[in-house]
Amino acid sequence: MIKVITMMKRKEGLRLEEFNQYWYEKHASLARKVIPKEVAPKQYVHNYAIAFAEAWDLAFDGIGSLCFDNAQSLIKWNEWFMSEGAEILHEDELNFVDPGTRVTMVVEEKVIIPERKGAGGERAGGKGTNVVKLMAMLKRKDGMSPEEFGKHWYEDHGPMAARIIPETVRIRRYVQNHAVRLIEDQEPRFDGIVEFCLEGLDSLDAWMAFYASNEGKIIRDDEVRFIDMSKIIVVLVEERVIPQIASKT
């Protein structure tokens, strides 16, 4: 799956709750009205950053994902998104987003652990779920090529982590998003973005305990082999899938 992931900070003067509310109630509703069915993404996802204190300094307040089946669908979307028909969406973003903080990337999604149902049978991101998601933005280690980074992350690190993480962590989904370089010699802001869905804050605590333990050391030791640990950005988010993104016209 091909995705467009956009990371952003809220407009100055907006509280985090106001940013989330506007993004969902106003902007997503507007998108449903104006996006033509023939170019609509397969899925539109909001990820709302979770702050544990009022003064929490978040790297990003929101992370949006547009999902497409293939490159052809993405091209159709991009043509429309750069047209006059999408201007109303660009203008509306200025009501809640600081445009200077906006980071957009095209990525290829690679699933390490497919979506699992929770204890109550619900799906991640569904109504009434208690799912939290760790999103980590990664840069490769100096001296490593993008190809070497992607190969090790997907073929070695991902399967190893999936194999040794205990069931007590209750993983709902583990996805790697690998940066797509659309222009030769143009370096993306990040080489990859992790989406690590967990079944609630208790599951998050279990993950943190495991990661810091002697058993989790194999994951930590492997990370330093291909990730620049000084440049990792981690955001804890609440995921919300936006339904019926395409207009009916």
In this predicted structure, what is the pLDDT of residue 121? 46
In this predicted structure, what is the pLDDT of residue 53? 59
Window from 21-30, 116-125, 166-175 with minimum mean pLDDT: 116-125
Query: What is the average per-residue pLDDT within 57-79?
Result: 94
Q: What is the pLDDT of residues 7-32, one digit of tens each?
A: 999 999 999 999 999 999 999 999 99
- Work out the mean pLDDT of the chain and round it to a whole number: 91
Please give the model's pTM, rounded to 2 decimal places: 0.91
In the predicted structure, residue 247 carries a pLDDT above the cut 90: no
The residue ranges of every structural domain in the chain are 2-242
Choose among 175, 177, 174, 178: nearest CA to 148. 178
In this predicted structure, what is the pLDDT of residue 192? 98
Q: What is the pLDDT of residues 33-46, one digit of tens each?
A: 999 999 999 999 99
Window from 136-145, 169-178, 205-214, 240-249 with minimum mean pLDDT: 240-249
In this predicted structure, what is the pLDDT of residue 127? 46
- Check residues 128 and 106 and name the one with the higher pLDDT: 106
| Whole-number percent of the chain with pLDDT over 90 | 84
In the predicted structure, residue 185 carries a pLDDT above the cut 90: no
Return the CATH class of domain 2-242. alpha beta
pLDDT band for position 117 (50/70/90)?
confident
pLDDT band for position 126 (50/70/90)?
very low
Question: Based on the number of CB atoms within 10 Å of its own CB, is 190 exposed (0-12), middle (13-18) or buried (19 or more)?
Answer: buried
pLDDT band for position 130 (50/70/90)?
low
In the predicted structure, residue 123 carries a pLDDT above the cut 60: no
In this predicted structure, what is the pLDDT of residue 72? 95
| Whole-number percent of the chain with pLDDT over 70 | 91
96-130 core/surface letters (b: 16 or more CB in 10 A; e: else): bbbeeeeeebbbbbeebbeeeebeeebebbeeebe
